[in-house]
Structure 1
């Protein structure tokens, strides 16, 4: 059994990790850390896991925690995973970081976008960007994985077939994304107060969202050249779910049938990416609780643009499910292990 520890276990992504790992046939949870709930049984924080999790939340004792685990998941805000990663590497353990500390290859970009000094820049060259459908071989050989952000997961998976085949103008990409409120985390804030979110629909971080450099970095790798995007995220009054609508100008004449065939071929054998048949569009409710990414693509022949719709559960494929998928790849397990769950509906 793989011994797993979750640092930051009482946030929403931490709780989703614990839920998935508690049912994973190859994993034993050995430590759950929380500064806010140290000493409390985990099920008192998250009652839905009563009789599934007997562990208590504990303060982080870094060297001890790393020594007792085979893999450490860090579900922490940016700036808080660097020391833990350094200790994991020192002890020869594997780590999956669900935060932003190892997603960007450039220390300068990290500082510019996150306004935090990177204290472990020497680890950036070791970190692998953990989108298994794109970087599976690198993930398999890694000890430090940077789990992608939720918005980038929808966008990169949505655009990969087009960029790899040089079918779109990389300077014309426009992304309109919507996320459920759980993406903002469990911390209290006016922005996610019920009275502010309910019956409301709003854009935020327009032209300034911190996932922009992450998306451009990985899209450039796929395209083999510069990619510049326009990205606008929105908050919608639902708990889970994320849907991105992506527009770009085609560089050659293709119809919807040809584009769909390309996507089906590109993602053939990828269990967690479902390319939907023509006439069927992604919807967030069909993905709740699952690790799938549903994609639909069509060509607007009138404008010469391709339109890609890409949807996930932001807490699963957009965070914790993808982290477990990465762990499975790192340890040579069946990639579906612990994750082969149909979404909840309605």
Structure 2
């Protein structure tokens, strides 16, 4: 390659791939001598590109991080992928990145070749993007802090607000961050509860990295974090397990029983089995009362006790109910 400017751009494009290149490999790719490659590497360094070189038979060149981010060279598919990602990032439920995503997208679109701008425009016109879901969004700085703690296996303290508004302080060993739908979840080992838990990141605040590092833990059963979150949200994890016979065909139950209630199995044409799990029998009983179908509890007895207590409280409430005009509510 005789054109020095074009050769530098081609060399930079090769170095931006996540690997180390030997001088002979680069010379062969660009059809020049290793001496020319050394001169071009020096020229890139003068332009501010941090090219690291290692010596020896297995040595080579690679682009490392520097004080400032150098310009990137992208092929067509990479440019479109980044543009789509930035457009999507502007709508996700994560605070602090919407404006940054739009600014970066505007810069990218400005320098895209006409053919790529047309492809992106067509895609944007044909695709509809859902708005962020209701409720608070995860904070970008919190996500970054938790991600760093996960990688370093560093304990984290934070305040966690439950659905009912109750706030508690937690000390956990963070494992993984998992995006699910429009939410972010932290999978972590809770030292106070002595068990694995998932926490919605938008319900966490006052996140503090303790600096205390611990050996990495593995999730029970060898499952990955994404599977653990899916199972937790669908009620398939927990120390308390219950089986219920639902008096409805499995096709109807699959349409009307929320997935987080548990897993369904067919029994016959008129009924199906629901297996559901939770960390406490009282909470499991509460969830069971939300089922939109008649059922028979098969086990365990401790859940039956909590269900019975719930029924008695409801019965007392009905007996004490008074109609608006002062008359007793008819039975």
Shorter-chain TM-score above 0.5: no
Question: Higher helix proportion, which one?
Answer: 2
Structure of larger gyration radius: 2
TM-score by length of structure 1 reads: 0.22
